[in-house]
C-alpha cells in the first residue's frame, strides 16, 4: 500500500522558483548520479544523467529492466536522493517541489484502498492536505470526469476493471491540478486493447490540460505513440543512450502507428536499445 508521502505529490502554491533554469524548463538534470549502497556492493542506478524537460513535453523513458527508469522518476519526486549532480523541478529542489505539490505520481499498480469508494480514494490526498469538503467534492468530480469515470464515484475498486482502476489512480494524481504528472508504467499490466484505449485517452487528456508528463514504459510503440521526447536508457550503469525529439504531430490518431514517420522513430528507439546492450558486451 502507498505511503502518505507517495500518494501526496500534487500542486498548489509553494516556494518560488530559484531561477537556476529557464522558466519553461520543468525538469533539469545535470550530471545526475545515484548509487545505492547494498550488501553486494554499490549499484550504479543512474550515471551522467543530463536531461531537460520543457513545459508541455510528453517524455517517455524506455529501456531494459534495471536501467534506472523508476529510480529517475522517484528522484524527480524526491522519493530517492541523487548521490551526485543537480536535479531541479520547476527550478526548485525535488524536495521543495514535492512540498509545493508540483506533481502527481501514478504507480504501476493502481494502489487504490479497497475499503474506500472511487471518489473517496481520489479525495484522500485532498483530505490529507486539509482541503474543505466542498472543494474535495468539486475536484473529485472534475478529475473523474476528465478520466471518463463519471457515474462510478460510489463504486469500490473491486467493482471496476483493471483499466478503470488505473484511470481512477490517474484521477487521484490529477486531484491537486499539478502541472507535472509522473507515471511509472501505468498500463504495463493491462492487455493491449485496453492499453491502446488508455493511451488514446491519456493523449487527449494531455492535449486538453497541457500538462508535462514523464512516463516510464517497456513498450516501443507506446513510447513512440505518446511522446514528444523519448529517452532511451541502458543498464549497468543506468544511463541515457539516446534522446529522440519526435517529429510526429501532437495530435495522433491510433493509425499513425502505420505511417513511415512512426516506424522510423520506432526504428531509432530500437537501435538505441541495441546500442545500450552492445555497451555491456
Ligand atoms: N532501493 C534500492 N536499493 C538497492 N538497489 C536498488 C534500489 N532500487 C533500485 N535498485 C537497483 O537500481 C537499478 C535500477 O533500478 P530501477 O528500478 O530504477 O530500474 P528500472 O529501469 O525501473 O527497471 P524495471 O523496468 O524492472 O522497473 C537496478 O539495478 C535495481 O536493482
**CATH number, domain containing residue 63:** 3.40.50.300
pLDDT at residue 92, as a whole number: 95
Q: Is the CB of 163 under 6 A from ligand 1?
A: no
Element (H, E) at 42: strand 41-54
Tell me which residue range forms the domain holding 162. 4-280
Q: Indicate the top mutation candidate among 69, 231, 233 to test ligand 1's pocket, ranked by most ligand atoms within 8 A of CB.
A: 69
Q: How far apart are CA 66 and CA 76, in angstroms?
A: 17
Which grid cell sits at 124? 484522500
Q: Indicate the top mutation candidate among 34, 42, 64, 70 to test ligand 1's pocket, ranked by most ligand atoms within 8 A of CB.
A: 70
pLDDT in tens, 99-151: 888 898 888 877 899 999 999 999 998 888 888 999 999 999 988 988 889 99
Pairing verdict, β 58-62 and 212-217: parallel
* Structural domains of the chain, count: 1
Nearest-10 crossing angle of helices 162-174, 133-146: 130
What is the reported pTM?
Answer: 0.86
Regions in the chain scoring below 50 on pLDDT: 4, 7-21, 279-281
Q: Quick one: 30 exposed, middle or buried, by C-beta within 10 A (0-12, 13-18, 19+)?
A: middle
pLDDT at residue 181, as a whole number: 92
pLDDT at residue 210, as a whole number: 86
Ligand 1 atom having least distance to the Cα of 108: 27
CB 31 within 8 A of CB 49: yes
Residue with cell 514535492: 98
Q: How far apart are CA 91 and CA 97, in angstroms?
A: 9
Amino acid at each position: 500500500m502507498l505511503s502518505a508521502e507517495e500518494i501526496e505529490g500534487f500542486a498548489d502554491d509553494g516556494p518560488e522558483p530559484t531561477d537556476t533554469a529557464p522558466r519553461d524548463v520543468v525538469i533539469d538534470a545535470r550530471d545526475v548520479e545515484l548509487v545505492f549502497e547494498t550488501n553486494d556492493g554499490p549499484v550504479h542506478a543512474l550515471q551522467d544523467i543530463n536531461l531537460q524537460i520543457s513545459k508541455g513535453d510528453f517524455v517517455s523513458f524506455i529501456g531494459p529492466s534495471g536501467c534506472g527508469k523508476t529510480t529517475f522518476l522517484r528522484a524527480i519526486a524526491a522519493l530517492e536522493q541523487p548521490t551526485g549532480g543537480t536535479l531541479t523541478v520547476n527550478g526548485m529542489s525535488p524536495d521543495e517541489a514535492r512540498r509545493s505539490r508540483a506533481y502527481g505520481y501514478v504507480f504501476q499498480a493502481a494502489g487504490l484502498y479497497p475499503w474506500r469508494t472511487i471518489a473517496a480514494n481520489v479525495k484522500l490526498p485532498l483530505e490529507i492536505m486539509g482541503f474543505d469538503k466542498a472543494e474535495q467534492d468539486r475536484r473529485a468530480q472534475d478529475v473523474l470526469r476528465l478520466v471518463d469515470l463519471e457515474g462510478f464515484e460510489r463504486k469500490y475498486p473491486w467493482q471496476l476493471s483493471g483499466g478503470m482502476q488505473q484511470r481512477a489512480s490517474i484521477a487521484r494524481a490529477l486531484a491537486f491540478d499539478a502541472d507535472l504528472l509522473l507515471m511509472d508504467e501505468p498500463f504495463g499490466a493491462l492487455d493491449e486493447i485496453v492499453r491502446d484505449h488508455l493511451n488514446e485517452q491519456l493523449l487527449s487528456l494531455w492535449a486538453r490540460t497541457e500538462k508535462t508528463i514523464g512516463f516510464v514504459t517497456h513498450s516501443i510503440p507506446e513510447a513512440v505513440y505518446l511522446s514528444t521526447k523519448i529517452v532511451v536508457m541502458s543498464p549497468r550503469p543506468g544511463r541515457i543512450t539516446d534522446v529522440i525529439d519526435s517529429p510526429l504531430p501532437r495530435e495522433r490518431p491510433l493509425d499513425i502507428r502505420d505511417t513511415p514517420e512512426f516506424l522510423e522513430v520506432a526504428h531509432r528507439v530500437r537501435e538505441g536499445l541495441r546500442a545500450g546492450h552492445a555497451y555491456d558486451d
